Chain A
Amino acid sequence: MTLQDFRIAVLARAPRPNIWDLVALILVIGAMVLIVYGGEQTTLPLTALETTPVSLDPIHLPFYALRTTMRMLLAIVCSTIFTFVYAAVAAKSRRAEMVLIPLLDILQSVPILGFLTFTVVFFLNLFPGKVLGAELACVFAIFTSQAWNMTFSMYQSIRNVPKDLEEATQSFHLSGWQRFWRLDVPFAMPGLIWNAMMSMSGGWFFVVASEAITVGNTTITLPGIGSYVALAIDKRDLAAIGYAILTMLLVIIAYDQLLFRPIVAWADKFRFEQIAASEAPTSWMLDLFRRTRALRALTYPLAAANEAISTLRIALPPALRPAAKSARPSRLIDVLWLTVIAACTGYAGWRAYQYLSANLTTSDLYDATEDGLVTLLRVVVLIALATLIWVPVGVWIGLRPKIAERVQPLAQFLAAFPANLAFPIFVVVIVRYDLNPNIWLSPLMILGTQWYILFNVIAGASAFPGDLREVASNFHVKGWRWWIKVILPGIFPYYVTGAVTASGGSWNASIVAEVASWGDTHLSATGLGAYIAKATEAGDYPRVILGIVIMCILVTIFNRVLWRPLYAFGERRLRLG
């Protein structure tokens, strides 16, 4: 459906190439060549990694950046496919929903880097002796950092499809499959794209962390920016780290301009509103493609394929069809289903208990919990500090549209930048001035995620209604009173959104932030992140699992006790308009 409208507009004109075709064609061919070249590298045997080790020569950086980017893109494609299937099943089947949604909630709070340990072994065994296995393990790690929020977004969209449109699809006899492509997917599109962009930003962090991995006595170094940085740290080469950061900056700008901006501009039409927006997002890349003639002709087969697929009259299996509104759900099947779930849960719980209790003692549990509480304290203090710093700054910027216009993209960009690339610089400082790692390693946890607070607060302050500001100055509301009565409640919902993201990201980052090294100097802070990182390095699976479980529980409790009520309060009482 995406390109049909172009087709209609172009039908009359002959597809004679124009100058824009040339530009666009070069871009397309370039992209294809790069993908093929990058893909060829993954089929090499694993020994090839040893014969051509990662080198610190900056001339290799473009190649490394390409490999890293391809892993990212592959992961986002996997995440999208996963999202479509998982979200659709969860939204259409009440019984599946009972299991799938809580499961997603937990998966969201599992520390992603913890996954790596198990998956590397699994994927290496899947393709013995091939680079492909290690590549897939890396892609899987990124996938686990991207998929969950996208799936949630899509699930919520499908559940909130407007009732009249749903009735229209039924009334016009669209099959379940047609309805999915005609209604559910387009309706979910804006939220999905926004979440995919967030995921992509988060993914950079993990791709960098997961390229050079040591699990027990297996060490794998995939060519990529992450490995490059790891080697630079090992060799104490500050210049190389500078090159890596520069490369990453360029890569992020490039994919933002070439990929996401066009998608956002294109997806603007899916926004569900009945009034035209005042300002639609734009993209030079999309404009370029819309100006080309012959290239647009190239997209016709795509459009035709899209139409052919989306109009197929495939009926969904009865289980996924929206239940006939008169039929009551069968109690008997419900009971059976719940029994099956209970049995599976019981079995899994028992096996987990057996495995862990055979290898661990209760003192391990105390240790891990204690470390967990230390990390919790760190997250709380850091979020509080970031709040104290960035809320006033964000408000100041947000209330000045001219400045906000320039700072907002920068803040979003900083949030996308993999902060772990900058870790070595901090470590150098800590080592040189002999600082306490327990305190000074902590800021690394929030280095990359604090920007979420900043750009959300800027967005909130920019959206603050002008008349309310005028009221405040008209009645001489100033100083503390102004902050507490006027602006803080006004930006609260935005702030909470940013803080939730920042706190979640900090938990995840703790695994790489609480342990840092520079050459052979190893710094370590007490905390659950360090606990998991050390267990991973030692190949001590029971402790890795224990650490992950504890973190999972702490994150979930933290979210339920603090963020959810705050969020609900903000939405209920403080949402403007």
Chain B
Amino acid sequence: MLDERKQSTTLIDLRGVCRSFPKGSGEDLLVLEKVDLTIHSSEIVGLLGRSGSGKSTLLRIIAGLIAPSSGDARCRGEVIQGPPNGVAMVFQSFALFPWLTVLQNVELGLEALGIDDEEQRKRALAAIDLIGLDGFESAYPKELSGGMRQRVGFARALVVHPDVLLMDEPFSALDVLTAETLRTDLIDLWIEGRLPIKSILMVTHNIEEAVLMCDRVLVFSSNPGRVAGEFKIDLPHPRSRLDPTFRQLVDMLYARMTHRAEPRTPVAGGFPGTGVGMVLKHVSSNVLSGLIETLAGPPYNGHVDLPVLANNLQLEADEILHLGESLQLLRFAQLSEGDLTLTEAGKRFALLETDARKKLFAEHALNYVPVIGLIRRVLDERPSHTAPVARFRNELEDHMSEEDADDTLRTIVSWGRYAELFAYDEQSETFSLENPS
């Protein structure tokens, strides 16, 4: 296996791959724009990006589960049409069949290949043995812990001896300790050359995970997703998180990911100046208040390095970036080069009482979140002081997918309620100015 890896061959080759999805208003929403990607044998490649950067879509294009809208996707020189042979996938949610035992779940991967029963059993047991599931053959998934379930997911993928192992955030549904054990086990098997595969492509939004495991990391930017940069990681395995070079790489990737993290405004053709088409990820006002307080207090005193904050709060890079972006949008903090700095307004907010905080929040939301300003204006202008949600949903869906529009509306409702800018009735789906007094 090791010798085979020495001479590198091209396994996956993507040229100018684009993918768009239909959205409410009829036009298409571009999620991947002109992505080039080549995967050679004997390397672990990481796709690092924020949620919504299209990296999972890209993985599914390679897995043959989604077809690209344009561009050329090839696996070992052949155009990918439907799931190609020699590619197996590990899922974030494990995707195990709850009615099949561990052994049956693993055998499922072979079933479609038409291998005879005896050979099937032999290979399945070998894969189970390799991944450390010995003794669990007859257990059902619901009897297993998350870590053991994902091991089944790995065994099922490895049993078909794929050239490329695709992993879609395989550790993100696991707790910190379990995830770490699984990562090291996998890397150990990989460097010992015991995995029956040629290379690994993994999607992640965990920066440390990418640096820990990958030989090469591609950073994705969002809306539309494209490759923003490529980084080689030459550290020898096993890697230590405490190694200064390791820390440097993590800091550098954080900076790289925040570099483009100014509020995401897919305005193309929208309402320039108003920016109604901004996707708002839902963040509770409680979390925002808590974060501002934390930032204002010691030891940060209004300024923090994001990886440090992520580590102290036990949050993923993606989550911490969402929080930072929301604060930046509301002008309570400034986000740049992997650092988060409170603004004057942010510092003032930290010192205020509940009611005064609400007033300040309302002021900022009205001024800096265009769609909230729009809703308030419409409500003020209408004699009835009510407006159906559909009126704004349609406008949002001109700019984003239905899912994003839902998320954005949820954020608007929650922020609007907190700031007491308007009321919302879930039953009739209307905004109004009435507040029960």
Contacts and interface: CB of A to CB of B under 8 A. Distances in A.
B390 interface: no
A130 interface: no
A174 B111 CA distance: 8
Contact of B89 (A171, A183, A276): A171
A118 to B, nearest CB: 41
A8 B106 CA distance: 14
A165 B103 CA distance: 17
A164 B65 contact: no
A407 B88 CA distance: 52
Contacts of A325: 65-67
Contacts of A186: 97, 99
Interface stretch (A145-153, A265-273, A286-294, A539-547): A265-273
Interface SS, B side: loop
A311 interface: yes
Interface in B71-130: 82-83, 85, 87-89, 91-95, 97-101, 103-104, 108-109, 111-114
A4 B104 contact: yes
B67 A269 contact: no
Contacts of B85: 173
A279 to B, nearest CB: 14
A168 B111 contact: no
Contacts of A272: 98
B194 interface: no
B160 interface: yes
Contacts of B68: 326
B142 A276 contact: yes
A273 B143 contact: no
A173 B95 contact: no
Contact of B97 (A8, A170, A178, A183): A183
B97 A182 contact: yes
B114 A313 contact: yes
Nearest to B89: A171
B141 interface: yes
A492 B111 CA distance: 46
B69 interface: yes
A274 interface: yes
B138 A173 contact: no
B247 interface: no
A366 interface: no
Interface in A286-318: 311, 313
Interface in A148-190: 162, 164-165, 167-168, 170-175, 178, 182-183, 186, 189
B63 interface: yes
A174 B160 CA distance: 13
A275 B104 CA distance: 19
A269 B140 contact: yes
Nearest to B21: A325
Contact of B138 (A8, A170, A175, A182): A8
A112 B97 CA distance: 38
A272 B97 CA distance: 9
Contacts of B322: none
B281 interface: no
A275 B93 contact: no
B417 interface: no
**Is the interface on chain B under 10, 10 to 19, 20 to 34, or 35 or more residues?**
35 or more
Contacts of B256: none
Interface string A373-404: 00000000000000000000000000000000
B83 A173 contact: yes
Interface string B138-159: 1011110000000000001000
B60 interface: yes
B100 A9 contact: no
Contacts of A326: 66-69
A275 B142 contact: yes
A5 interface: yes
Contact of B88 (A171, A178, A182, A273): A171
Contacts of B137: 8
A324 interface: yes
Contact of A172 (B103, B112, B140, B142): B112
A271 B95 CA distance: 15
Contact of A5 (B88, B138, B141): B138
A316 B60 CA distance: 23
Interface in A114-168: 162, 164-165, 167-168
A263 interface: no
Contacts of B92: 164
A324 B80 CA distance: 13
A182 B142 CA distance: 18
A274 B141 contact: yes
B100 A1 contact: yes
A164 B98 contact: no
A84 B93 CA distance: 28
A454 to B, nearest CB: 30
Nearest to A2: B99
Contact of B113 (A5, A8, A165, A173): A173
B91 A167 contact: yes
A165 B99 contact: no
A5 B98 contact: no
A274 B98 contact: yes
Nearest to A569: B427
Interface in A211-256: none
Nearest to B68: A326
Contact of A173 (B67, B69, B112): B112
A1 B109 contact: no
A201 B68 CA distance: 51
Nearest to A325: B66
Given A173-B113, A174-B112, A311-B111, A269 B65 contact: no
Contact of B112 (A4, A9, A165, A178): A178
Contacts of A172: 83, 88, 108-109, 111-112, 156, 160
Q: List 8 A-B pairs, minimum CB-CB distance, nearest first.
A: A326-B67, A164-B95, A173-B112, A168-B95, A186-B99, A171-B89, A164-B93, A270-B99
Interface of B: 60, 63-69, 82-83, 85, 87-89, 91-95, 97-101, 103-104, 108-109, 111-114, 137-138, 140-143, 156, 160, 427
20 contacts: A1-B100, A5-B138, A8-B101, A165-B95, A167-B63, A170-B83, A171-B89, A172-B83, A172-B109, A172-B111, A172-B156, A173-B112, A173-B113, A178-B112, A182-B97, A186-B97, A186-B99, A270-B98, A275-B142, A326-B66
